[in-house]
Structure 1
Amino acid sequence: MSEITRELESAEPSGAMLDLLLGADLSTLTAEQQVTAFVMARKITAVADHARLCILRGFDDLAEMSMATHESEQSLFRQQERAEVLDRLPRLCEQLRRGEIDLRRLETVDERVVHLDPATIPQIEDQLVEVAAELTRTQLARRTTKLVAEADPLGYEQRRQKARDTERRIEFYPLPNGMAELRIRMSAIDARQCYDIATADARALCKDCRTTDQ
C-alpha cells in the first residue's frame, strides 16, 4: 500500500484519508506505514468527535437520539453539556477538527477552565493553542492547571479546598478473573506521597519474578 506515506501524518483528516485507510490491508503494511495508519485513524476519530459535539450542541430531541444510539438520555445530556466547549475553547476545538489534538486532551483543558470567568478563558487558550498538539495529556493538564492558578489564584484555591473536602472517596470496581480495582480519590499531594512510599517499599523488597507494580 504505497499510498500510505508519512506525509499523511501532517494532513488534515478527509474522506479520501478515510477511504485510503478502509481500503488498506493493514496486515501487509510496513512498521512505518502502520505508525502512519495509526495517526490517520486518530485524526479521523478526532474529526468524528468534533462532528458529534456539533450535532449534540444544537439537538433538541435526546429521546430520539437515545433510541437510535441505544444510549441513555442522561448520558447524552452529559455529552451535550460537554459540547459547550465549542463556544468556550473555539480554537482548540478547531484543532480537534483538524485532528491535531484528540478529544481527551480537549476535555482535559475544558474541565480545568470551565469554572473561570468567560473573559479569562481566551487568555489561557492563547497560551495553549500553539503547544497543545505537541503535549501529552498529562503535560497539557499540568500546563493548564498552572495557567488557571495564575489567572485566578483565589478562585483556584477555593475550588481546590472544596474538592479536597467534598470529592474524597474510595470506589470499588469488580474486574474479570476474580480481580477488583480499588480507586481512592484524594488530594494530588497526598496521592503522590502514597505512591512514592508504596513504590519505595516495593523496590526495597527482595528481588523475585514480580515487577515493581505487582
Structure 2
Amino acid sequence: VVPSHDRQQVSESLGQLCFEQVNQRPGASAHPSGTFTPHSERIRVRLRQGGGQRHGRLTVQTTVSHHHIFHQFYVADIPTGAQDSLLRLFPSESRPRITAISNAVLRCASGPAKSPRDLGVIRSRRLHYFAFVLKNKLNDALLLDHCHQDRRVHQFAMYAVTLANGESLSFRSLKSDTIAKYLLAASTFLALFNGVDSRKMNPADKSLAPKIQAI
C-alpha cells in the first residue's frame, strides 16, 4: 500500500505507536524499535538490535480492554468502550474465553458481515490515509484525538484533494463517491480513538463539512 520511498518512515512511525501501546499495559515493556505481525488476537513483536540483528521476540496477548491500534485494522469497527461495558457484566475469569464470542455478537448487531475482500479494501484505504499523514509530516496528531475539529476537517479536505489528484491506491484520480469511501474508512477508524467524525463540523450534522463537499 505504501510507496517504497516512504516505507521506512511509515514503518518506524507506526511501529513506535505499537510499542507505546504495549508499554501502557501493566508489567509489559518493549524496545522502541522493531516490527510487528498481527496474528489472530496476538501481536507478535520481533525485537532487533542496531543493524537489524534479531535478539528476541515478544508476544503480547491482547484482550478486549487493551485493543491494539493495529489489531483494529483486522476486526470490525466496534468501539472499545462498548466491548468493555458488556464484558464487565460477566465474571472476570470468563472474559478471556468469551471475548471472541462477544465480538461476534456485536459484529452481527452492527449489520451484515463484510467479505474478506471488503475488509481488505477498507484496511488498505486506512493504511493509505496514514501514508498520506506521514508523508506530509502531519503525525503530531496521528489519531486526531487532541486537536480542534477545524484541524480534522481541513486535514480530511486536503486528503480528498490528494485523492482527486490521483494519489490513490490505484494511482489515478477518483470519482467523488469513491473519495467519500476513502474518507469514511479513515474517519470510522479514527473515531474509535477520538470519538468524533472527522468529516463533519458538528456531531449533529447529517452532511459532510462544506470544505469537503466542495471538493
Bigger relative contact order (CA 8 A; separation at least 6): 2
Higher fraction of helix: 1
Q: Verify same fold: TM over 0.5.
A: no
What TM-score, normalized by structure 2, do the two folds share? 0.29
